[in-house]
Chain A
Amino acid sequence: MRYILVSLFSLVLSAQDIAVRADKLYTVSGSMISDGIVVIEKGKIKAIGKASDIKLPAGIKIIQGNVAMPGIIDGHSTVGFSGLLNQRHDQEQVERSAPIQPELRAIDAYNPKDPLVRFLAHRGITTVHTGHGPGALVSGQTLIAKTTGNTIDETVIVSEAMIAATLGDSIRNAGTKAPGTRSKAMAMIRSELLSAQAYMRKVDIAKAEQRPERNIRMEALIQVLKRERPLLITAHKSIDIMGVLRLGKEFNIQVILDGAADAHLLIREIKASGVSIIIHPLMAYPRGEMENINLETPALLYKAGIPFIFQSGFEAYVPKTRVVLWEAAMAVGNGLSWEQTIYTLTLGAARLLGIQGRVGSLEVGKDGDIALFSGDPFEWTTRCTGTVINGQLISEGELLKD
């Protein structure tokens, strides 16, 4: 009976069957297709090509647009954690009871229905890397999710993406045991990683009956030590960036630099380290640890061959979230090529986050995530006119009444 039902369904169009047709279709993995069509079946891309070459299934819903591109990926955000209202009850991005808490899972706190998640979806952002933010030495885990869905299970792509850490001034308020100086912060994180190494050895060599008791904090760090998960470290000033590079080398772990306002002053060192960067929002206000931020950093990183992606970051006040597309637009206006910026927002971000098998480009077999625009996506006066996620038109784009 069950088998019959399934086959009956496969004969009719599913809710996640849709075709997107655009004057300019940017696949990112290949070249731009004039008057192109993407056919999505059951949420996955089934076919792609010139409209004249594609045979559409009868009755399929067609979404039209001027410009279409793969759904945009926000490289690092706290959306779904730092909610719209900015009241105590909707702020989950940092827990200040202790300075080091890698065991805090992102899936336990993500609110896929926060209005700001929807706000981003309306603007073509289909995937976010979000979770515990800056503000504690080790603040917790991050996840990767689509910007639609009612529950975390429905929307999550990677439930344990990275472990978030921070160096610099902002971590000094995280509880009575928070580090009071930069050297202390480095000493604390070193000690923690050493403890995790010792715990890992015990787990690895012990016979079943001698195994140490489970320790979720250590288990999280073991994943970092085994290079199964990156340690994402927010650091802006040169001294803190150098600290990140030092930790990566000392423990042979994969570190990813987050923020990195001074990156343009350390191009040679970062290049030599092989570390990737999730660069600060370009329109962040230049002050405090970010006083040196430079709109030309993305162009400089690209020229040096340092892998980087864009982010919307964390905002304590207004705007409560930034829009990664708008931040990236400032890079296009300051020396990074149009094509490279589109790539960085899509396939580049997917590769750095390790989700290129599912999203980031318009290729057969990948998720049907598409952003539609009235014109050049980077122009300030261009509007997002539709967002498709998993083959569902989840937004008609930015509304004039927004």
Chain B
Amino acid sequence: MYKSRLTALLIGICLGMMAQERPIAFTNAYIIPIEGADLAKGTLIIKGGKIIGLGNNISIPADAQINDLKGQVIMPGLVDSHSHIGSGEGADASAPIQPEIRISDSINVENTSIRRAQAGGITTVNVMPGSGHLLSGQTVYLKLRRGTTIDELAVEKTAHGYLGGMKMANGTNSRREAGNFPGTRSKSASLVREQFIKAQAYQAKIKLAAGDANKLPARDLGMEALVEVIEGKRTVHHHTHRHDDIITVLRLQKEFGFRVVLHHVSEAWAVADEIKAAGDGVIGASIIIVDSPGGKLETKEIRFSNGASLEKAGVLCGFHTDDPITDSRWFLRSGALAIRYGMTRNESLKAMTINNAKLVGLDKRVGSLAIGKDADLLVLSGDPFSVYTKIQETWVEGQRVFNRLDPSDRKFATGGVGAAMDTMDHTDLLEHESEDL
């Protein structure tokens, strides 16, 4: 026991030493910092996992390793505000509301879906439980570092696990014929209201106890998480498609004051102004671009122009993969298709990066290239929105996690034997809650 701890300690020290101490300078790059103008022939310097230099003619530390990019493109690592990589399982079929569930308990960080996401340039991701419940549990924010445990990938450990949000859903996915699940939209909203009123009462009891252990209510993991939600410390990530369901989320948000990100929002084009008018508690919308409408009734009116509509209304808009609904490897394509249907290029770039970072509250650390921020970046062979461009390298906190020139990495971009050996079969997925859209 002692020996294994010592080994663990030694490995820990080694990892610490391996953390990028020598500066690396990426020179001769077309840099898209997202916030601020592009640099046509810029230099980016990273050290200790952070960005320490960015500019046109900046001095490079003498000990820096020089990486001449010969005109290739650098942009920040992509942020995916809604994904199911890691083959996690959320709430089960026992109840429609399960706030105590933590997706972090079931994520396999060695699943190939994570390698494919790295190949797609995703460096920060909100991994969620599915949408088959009104409330299916706690989400987790990951940095896609190379690691073998969830602790190594989590953005941050907290008193109750890991930093993340709370997944909720309305519309038809969370309705079931069986058990205590709701059968209508009104019943769905009613069950959610009841739950939040319970959480308010629990919160009041804690306040009343004023730290006196004898007066505290019995611990309730679900209530504890919901108190975080109503205190604005844990963001609700709310699956919603139809215009009337979107408005219902806004109504519940107003009543209980939680902070919410609207997800999918297939009919955003119909209620973009209402979303904007909802105020600061509605942080923004995370949308998906799928290749055609339909497949389920709630998405028959989905439009490629949702991004453009939200931009026009002034709503903070991010994109998500909802992997496996769309493939993490071509997440950039979502941004390109949004441009195709009227979003500006600038807003689309932001939607892939800083806007998504804001939706998960990590914009101080990720989402743009700026001194002091995490060294999460992509090296691209050309324009981020071109079908001909390849993601050559993905870096997370100063470590290269994907290198297209390395054949064992490359297969996670192109596919082939071993690139997806542990993904769930389609039929499993249909029964599984993670088939989410």
Residues of A within 8 A of B (CB): 83-87, 115-116, 119, 169, 264-265, 283, 285-289, 291-296, 315-323, 326, 329-330, 332-334, 378-383, 398, 400-402
Q: CB < 8 Å: which of B296, B342, B420, B424 contacts A317?
A: B296
- B417 at the A interface (CB under 8 A): yes
Q: CB < 8 Å: which of B297, B419, B425 contacts A288?
A: B425
- B416 at the A interface (CB under 8 A): yes
User: Which residues from 292 to 339 on chain B have a C-beta closer than 8 Å to any C-beta of chain A?
Assistant: 292-297, 299-300, 303-305, 308, 324-325, 327, 330, 333, 336-337, 339
| A320 and B342 within 8 A (CB) | no
- B386 at the A interface (CB under 8 A): yes
- B278 at the A interface (CB under 8 A): no
Indicate whether A316 sits within 8 Å of B291 (C-beta atoms), given known contacts A286-B423, A330-B387, A381-B339: no
- B158 at the A interface (CB under 8 A): no
User: What is the CB-to-nearest-CB distance from A291 to chain B, in angstroms, rounded to a whole number?
Assistant: 5
Alpha-carbon distance A292/B341, docked complex (angstroms):
33
Residues in A with CB closer than 8 Å to B299 are 318
Indicate whether A320 sits within 8 Å of B420 (C-beta atoms), given known contacts A285-B327, A288-B425, A381-B336: no
Q: CB < 8 Å: which of B292, B413, B435 contacts A323?
A: B292
Query: From B413, which residue of chain A is reached at the shortest CB distance?
Result: A295
| B426 and A401 within 8 A (CB) | no
Q: CB < 8 Å: which of B296, B327, B330, B385 contacts A86?
A: B296
The 6 closest A-B pairs by CB, nearest first: A380-B336, A318-B295, A286-B420, A84-B294, A288-B425, A320-B295
Query: From B424, which residue of chain A is reached at the shortest CB distance?
Result: A287
- Chain B positions 266 through 292: 1 when the CB is less than 8 Å from some CB of chain A, otherwise 0: 000100000000000000000000111
| B423 and A291 within 8 A (CB) | yes
Query: From A114, which residue of chain B is reached at the shortest CB distance?
Result: B294
| B426 and A287 within 8 A (CB) | yes
- A285-B423, A317-B296 known; 11 new pairs, CB 8 Å cut-off, are A86-B294, A86-B296, A286-B419, A293-B420, A315-B295, A317-B435, A318-B299, A319-B295, A322-B292, A333-B388, A398-B341
Question: Does more than half of chain B's interface fall in helix, strand or loop, or is it mixed?
Answer: loop
Indicate whether A287 sits within 8 Å of B423 (C-beta atoms), given known contacts A86-B296, A294-B416, A322-B292: yes
- B340 at the A interface (CB under 8 A): yes
Which of A119, A291, A334, A379 counts the most B-chain CB atoms under 10 A from its CB? A291
| B386 and A316 within 8 A (CB) | no
| A381 and B385 within 8 A (CB) | yes
**9 pairs, CB–CB < 8 Å, chain A vs chain B:** A115-B294, A288-B423, A288-B424, A292-B420, A323-B291, A333-B388, A379-B336, A379-B386, A401-B305
User: What is the CB-to-nearest-CB distance from B418 to chain A, in angstroms, rounded to a whole number?
Assistant: 8
User: What is the CB-to-nearest-CB distance from B133 to chain A, in angstroms, rounded to a whole number?
Assistant: 19
Q: How many residues of B contact A (CB 8 A)?
A: 49
| A265 and B415 within 8 A (CB) | no
| B427 and A288 within 8 A (CB) | yes
| B340 and A322 within 8 A (CB) | no
Residues in A with CB closer than 8 Å to B426 are 285, 287-288, 316
Indicate whether A294 sits within 8 Å of B414 (C-beta atoms), given known contacts A86-B295, A286-B423: yes
- B37 at the A interface (CB under 8 A): no
Query: From A90, which residue of chain B is reached at the shortest CB distance?
Result: B294
Alpha-carbon distance A296/B290, docked complex (angstroms):
23
- B429 at the A interface (CB under 8 A): yes
Indicate whether A334 sits within 8 Å of B425 (C-beta atoms), given known contacts A119-B292, A318-B296: no
User: Which residues from 361 to 404 on chain B have a C-beta closer than 8 Å to any C-beta of chain A?
Assistant: 385-390
| A380 and B340 within 8 A (CB) | yes
| B415 and A332 within 8 A (CB) | no
| B292 and A321 within 8 A (CB) | yes
Indicate whether A402 sits within 8 Å of B295 (C-beta atoms), given known contacts A379-B387, A380-B333: no
User: What is the CB-to-nearest-CB distance from A11 to chain B, in angstroms, rounded to a whole number?
Assistant: 43
- Chain B positions 104 through 129: 1 when the CB is less than 8 Å from some CB of chain A, otherwise 0: 00000000000000000000000000
| A402 and B327 within 8 A (CB) | no
Alpha-carbon distance A283/B414, docked complex (angstroms):
11
| B296 and A291 within 8 A (CB) | no
Residues in B with CB closer than 8 Å to A323 are 291-292
- B430 at the A interface (CB under 8 A): yes
Alpha-carbon distance A323/B437, docked complex (angstroms):
19
Residues in A with CB closer than 8 Å to B295 are 84, 86, 315, 317-320
Alpha-carbon distance A116/B324, docked complex (angstroms):
22
Residues in A with CB closer than 8 Å to B419 are 286, 291-292
Query: From B296, which residue of chain A is reached at the shortest CB distance?
Result: A86
Alpha-carbon distance A294/B410, docked complex (angstroms):
11
Alpha-carbon distance A329/B386, docked complex (angstroms):
10
Residues in B with CB closer than 8 Å to A317 are 295-296, 430, 435, 437
- B15 at the A interface (CB under 8 A): no
Q: CB < 8 Å: which of A119, A264, A381, A401 contacts B293?
A: A119
Indicate whether A295 sits within 8 Å of B414 (C-beta atoms), given known contacts A85-B294, A86-B294, A379-B387: yes
Indicate whether A381 sits within 8 Å of B340 (C-beta atoms), given known contacts A86-B296, A326-B291, A333-B388: yes
| A292 and B416 within 8 A (CB) | yes
